[in-house]
Amino acid sequence: MSTEPAKTLDTFPNPAPERDFHIHMEIPEFTCLCPKTGQPDFATLLLDYVPDQSCVELKSLKLYIWSFRNIGCFHEAVTNRILDDLVGATRPRYMKLTARFYVRGGIFTTVVAEHRKAGWIPEAAIELATFAGQSSVRG
């Protein structure tokens, strides 16, 4: 097992490319450095995507995220850079990265960046609700 950060994002073939499905990942240990002070910034990253032909491999994602630990980055720049790198590696139908940075100077910062594949039309969402043990499906 590698113990070094890496900028490489590995992928694997989407096991169900014929359908849209949603992958959600929570990455609670993101760190980088403030480019002004050099102090550490901490964030939880929320990655949501609909894959096309490939999915991101988790170990490589972990090592990639780790590679920012000693790099000075503005919140907005690092969020967009990570999204761009993930989109470049996986070419998803849709991807959204939400970066929730912890308080710094009394201010919480959340940055949201999205990508949509040209021409992709998402399927209608289905909302499942449970009321007193009953399920209902709405289209």
Active site residues: 34, 41
State both tokens at 15: 């096991």
- Which strand (E) or helix (H) includes residue 57? none
**What does residue 3 show for φ and ψ, rounded to 5 degrees?**
-120, 15
H and E: helices and strands count for the chain: 2, 8
> What is the separation of C-alpha 121 from the centre of its chain, rounded to a whole number of angstroms?
20
Nearest in space to 101 (alpha carbons), one of 46, 38, 23: 46
Q: Which residues contact 23 (CB under 8 A, 6 or more apart)?
A: 47, 48, 49, 50, 51, 55
